[in-house]
Amino acid sequence: MKRFFGMSLTLALLVGFLVLLSAGFYWAAAGLGWGFNALSISFGWNPPGTVSTAAVSYGAAVGNLLTLMMVVLMISGSMLTVAERKWSALLQNRIGANRITVGGNPLGGIPYLLADALKMLTKEAAAPDVRNRLLFELAPVLAFAPVFCLFAIVPVGPAVDLGNFFGVAAAGKSVSLQVAQIDAGLLYLFAIASLSVYGTSLAGWASNNKLALLGGVRAASQMISYEVSMGVSLVGTMMAYRTLRLEEMVVAQGAPVLGGFPALGLLLQPIGFLIFFTSGFAETKRAPFDLPEGESEIVGYFIEYSGMKFGMMFLAEFLEIAVFAGVITAIFLGGWHPLVFEETLRQNLQPIWFAAVCGGAFLVKMILLMWLQLVIRWLLPRFRYDQVQKLCWKILLPASLVNVFVTGAAILIDPSLQLLAWIGLGTIIVIGVLVGASGRQAAATDGHAAHGAAHAGGH
């Protein structure tokens, strides 16, 4: 009981911390937006006393670049390396990393973050002589950079009027926790997401190592498998919310359907969610889709990399988890909508604090999704590459095409999304029943023929 209270308290503190953090992010974005405006006035680009939209949005973008990409993404990426150790330890009845202590306290393994970084940076960067030098050096960068770019379109918090920060003088312009609000939205997502495979493939190719080459080829074959279904799986959401922009999708998810329930992507597009989650998992190249690594077979595409070059590929994987969690949150889990007490919060809090709570809600959802990904990674065995191809081409792609068709028909018949929501609800129930039923059946029917025969055999 004591433990339960302790854990609840810790969780509450964590949520409070995240809310404060996002309030800080808002101030940073607003401050820089205001500062850029002041600069632009001092250069004489816009008359004194006015607020330039361009200056504010550039300033806010720079602020978000620093806070969201450097703080949120980098910290969650590097914390995930520790979380992977500790959470997997929880799963496996172990204690996990606790040898580095600060004043006798292991601090939940967090000091390992520094130790690991230091180790990676000071390690000898051994590289094979026969490598293709340019590509070999380029590959870690190509694995790392696109992941960062992806986070640019993730809307962490809602737009807040600048007037709330700096009085009436600045009213009319808004800042939000999103680096870039671009029209292409999801298309940008697909374009950049598929770039990261170049890092993997080139690393495999340029290492001039047979095992690494196999890893690189597997990465490429996996990419062409999941990429199609990944793209098609989101077409349904594009149609339902009538936009490609992630921030507009999030706003649209606040609209009530089915008598007041928010129109979450998960509710409207359960099939799309499952397919996108699976394909996205393949994108992160982690178990059960860790074929390019396949540590027990081919050791991995990064077999020839050492030091920070390996570290970047390693970190890129974790960053992908964080980005992927952010994207799913935005598209399927209602983004920054707190979902509970939303109206009460909106009415009783100042706009800045309401936005901060929303930002906190986004981060909480993101952490939950990252946790889910780690749990899946530690429980499932690895696919074989032909099985991934079969899964993607024969199951996911047809399913996502059917999903597009059904979604389109439902929206055509009932543009208010009610029908789509009912269909989604039905799908969720059917999937739940199927999963429950197959979980029980398996023991009795197929797959355990050998078990049955086992008892018959005897003497």
Partner 1 sequence: MSTEVKEVLKQVGGPRSSELDAPLSSKRMLVNLGPSHPAMHGTARAVVELEGENIASCKLDIGFLHRGFEKSCESVTWTQVFPYTDRLNYVSSIMNNVGFALAVEKLCKLEVPERAQYLRTITSEIHRICDHLTLVGALGLELGAMTVFLYAIEGRDLLWDRLTELCGARLTSNYARIGGVSRDVPEGWIEKTETTLDRVVLLRDEIDGLLARNRIFYDRTRGVGTVSRADAIDLGFTGPCLRASGEAYDLRKAAPYLVYDRLDFDIPVGSNGDTYDRYLIRIEEMKQSDKMLRQCFRDMAPGELVVRDFRYVLPPKPEVYGTIEGVMAHFKLIMEGIQVPAGEVYGYTEAANGELGFYLVSDGSGRPYKIGLRAPGWPMLAALPIILHGALLSDLVPVFDSINMIGGEVEQ
Shortest spacing between CB 236 and partner 1, in angstroms? 25
Q: Is 295 in the site for partner 1 (CB under 8 A)?
A: yes
Establish if 379 lies at the interface with partner 1 (CB under 8 A): yes
List the structure tokens of 14: 């964590």
Return the bridge partners of 256, or none.
262
Closest CA to 204 of 317, 293, 290, 321: 293
Select 353 or 393, whichever has its Cβ closest to partner 1. 393
412 versus 444: smaller Cβ distance to partner 1: 444
Q: Which is nearer to partner 1, 227 or 290 (CB)?
A: 290
Shortest distance, CB of residue 109 to partner 1, whole angstroms? 17
Cβ-proximal residues to 91 (8 Å cutoff; 6+ apart), any chain: 375, 378, 379
Torsion of CA 51, 56, 57, 59, to 10 degrees: 160
Q: Is 288 in the site for partner 1 (CB under 8 A)?
A: yes
Check binding of 13 to partner 1 (CB under 8 A).
no
Give the residue, chosen from 17, 38, 94, 429, that forms a contact with partner 1 under the rule CB under 8 A: 94
Which one-letter DSSP state was computed for residue 169? G
Tracing tokens 């992941």 back to the chain, one arrives at: 147
With CB under 8 A as the contact rule, the residue among 116, 227, 247, 290 that binds partner 1 is 290
167 binds partner 1 per the rule CB under 8 A: no
In the bound state with partner 1, the residue whose beta carbon lies nearer, of 103 and 458, is 458
d(CA 96, CA 80): 14
We find the least distance from the C-beta atom of residue 381 to partner 1, in angstroms, to be: 4
Q: How far apart are CA 203 and CA 128, in angstroms?
A: 12
Q: Which is nearer to partner 1, 2 or 455 (CB)?
A: 455
Name the one range near partner 1 by CB under 8 A: 76-84, 346-354, 380-388, 392-400: 380-388
What is the 3 state secondary structure string of 97-149?
Answer: CCCCCECCECHHHCHHHHHHHHHHHHCCCCCCCCCCHHHHHHHHHHHHHHHHH
For the segment 188-217, give every residue that binds partner 1 (CB under 8 A).
210-211, 214
Q: Is 395 in the site for partner 1 (CB under 8 A)?
A: no
Selection from 4, 70, 63 nearest residue 30 by Cα: 63
Which CB atom, from 1 or from 453, has the smaller least distance to partner 1?
Answer: 453
- Contacts with partner 1 by CB under 8 A: the residue count is 43
CA 173-62-197 angle, to 5 degrees, is 120
Nearest to partner 1 of 84, 247 (CB atom): 84
Please report how close the Cβ of residue 459 comes to partner 1 at its closest, in angstroms.
Answer: 5
Site for partner 1 in 402-441 (CB under 8 A): 439
Candidate segments 34-42, 108-116, 409-417, 447-455, binder of partner 1 by CB under 8 A: 447-455
Residue 445 lies near partner 1 (rule: CB under 8 A): no
Neighbours of 11 (CB within 10 A): 11
Range 344-370 burial, b when 16+ CB lie within 10 A, else e: eeeeeeebbbbbbbbbbbbbbbbbebb
> Minimum distance from CB of 399 to partner 1 (Å)?
16
Smallest distance, partner 1 to C-beta of residue 85, A: 12
Q: Is residue 72 helix, strand or coil? A: helix
Cβ–Cβ under 8 Å, residues 18 and 364: yes
Cβ-based nearer residue to partner 1, 198 or 383:
383
91, 171, 255, 430: which one contacts partner 1 (CB under 8 A)?
91
Is there a contact between 219 and 195 (Cβ–Cβ < 8 Å)?
no
d(CA 362, CA 333): 9
Q: Which stretch binds partner 1 (CB under 8 A): 54-62, 236-244, 345-353, 374-382?
A: 374-382
The contact set with partner 1 (CB under 8 A) reads: 88, 91-94, 210-211, 214, 287-288, 290-291, 294-299, 378-387, 439, 442-443, 447-451, 453-459
